[in-house]
Amino acid sequence: MSIAVVTDSTSDLPPDIAQLHGISVVPLNVHIEDETFLDGVTISADEMYRRLPDQKVIPTTSAPSVGTFAEMYEKLGETHDEIISVHLSSKLSLTHGAAVNAVSELGSNGPRIEVVDTEQASMALGYTAVQAAEAIAGGSSLDDAVALVKNASKRAVFIGMVDTLEYLVRGGRIGKAQGYVGSILRVRPILTLQDGIAHPFERARNRKKGIARLKSIVAEYAPLEKLSVLYTTDEVDAQNIANEIAEFAPDGEPIVAQLGPVVGNYLGPGTLGLGLIRAESS
């Protein structure tokens, strides 16, 4: 049986990684004034970050339509017998719901499709899709892949150090990190996802200490199955972090990935972070 793997653009999977594993990525929508863009397709992350600070009208985002998912599933059904569709936390977006509704709309026509809510985002989501693809390539069944994704999602961790909470607040994605609003100026909030929503993790006194803390977090979570360093605008800092934590990456080289337009819209320029999957306890 041939099984396709689908995720959405909030996975922030670098295109070469998605292509390597044969993962299809459905883009979310970015709305800036009267224009609508496809995340990572018709607007790049760099363009988004150039526009964000000076944008008079707050950009918004929306889930792919049910029709978009249905079209993707129908196309994949021409060459695959089954599909696993792995998505962003349903508490942050209607994306998972749109995928579920597309499956209902298609009914029994076409391939069997399983949709999974990972309660994750960015590379914490992206890596679950990668692990599914790796398992399928190794001969796993669809049911086995679904079980693997659910298990990996519980071990996945997203950490983000933001320069400001402004973007989370104005985008309505502040979650349980509301208590950080009004923190002392220049303190760098470090956030995580817990139960699918933003939670406070720690505060760093400044950016330098925050970067040091990101490095130490990796050591605390080791051993790891997957490791990536994330950034919105500061690739050099991200690469330096990756170089210094390389010993904790299973293959000795963490992926450095840029947060895409949708995720970056809520975290803002200057964000650095981690996406990882902890190894299963023995």
Across 119-127, average pLDDT? 98
Domain boundary among 154, 179, 212: 154
Regarding whether 257 and 271 lie in a shared domain, the answer is yes
Residue 10 has pLDDT above 70, yes or no: yes
Tens digit of pLDDT for each residue in 21-42? 999 999 999 999 889 999 999 9
Q: Where residue 185 sits, what CATH number does that domain have?
A: 3.30.1180.10
Q: Report the domain count for the chain.
A: 2
Regarding whether 111 and 208 lie in a shared domain, the answer is no
Helix 95-106, helix 66-77: angle, nearest 10: 50
**Model pLDDT, residue 186:** 60
Regarding whether 131 and 32 lie in a shared domain, the answer is yes
- List alpha helices for 138-234, DSSP H: 142-155, 166-170, 207-221
Tens digit of pLDDT for each residue in 133-178? 999 999 999 999 999 999 999 999 999 999 877 776 764 544 444 4
Give me the residue label for tokens 């200057």: 270
- Per DSSP bridges, beta strands 112-117 and 82-87 are parallel
Regarding whether 219 and 119 lie in a shared domain, the answer is no
Residue 274 has pLDDT above 90, yes or no: yes
Regarding whether 150 and 16 lie in a shared domain, the answer is yes
Regarding whether 217 and 249 lie in a shared domain, the answer is yes
Residue 67 has pLDDT above 90, yes or no: yes
**Model pLDDT, residue 39:** 96
Domain boundary among 105, 123, 154: 154
As a whole number of Å, the end-to-end CA separation of the chain is: 31
Regarding whether 25 and 132 lie in a shared domain, the answer is yes
Across 187-210, average pLDDT? 90
Structural domain range at position 241: 156-278
At residue 84, φ and ψ (nearest 5 deg) are -110, 125
Q: Do residues 149 and 115 make contact, with C-beta atoms less than 8 angstroms apart? A: no
Domain boundary among 95, 121, 154: 154
| CA 130 from centre of chain | 12
Q: Where residue 85 sits, what CATH number does that domain have?
A: 3.40.50.10170
| CB burial string 12-29: b at 16+ within 10 A, e below | bbbeebbeebebbbbbbb
pTM of the model: 0.91
Annotate 163-181 with three-state secondary structure. CCCHHHHHCCCCHHHHHHC
Regarding whether 216 and 126 lie in a shared domain, the answer is no
| CA 252 from centre of chain | 22
Least confident of 71-80, 190-199, 217-226: 190-199
Least confident of 83-92, 161-170, 175-184: 175-184
CA triple 230-98-32, angle to 5 deg: 60
**Model pLDDT, residue 168:** 67
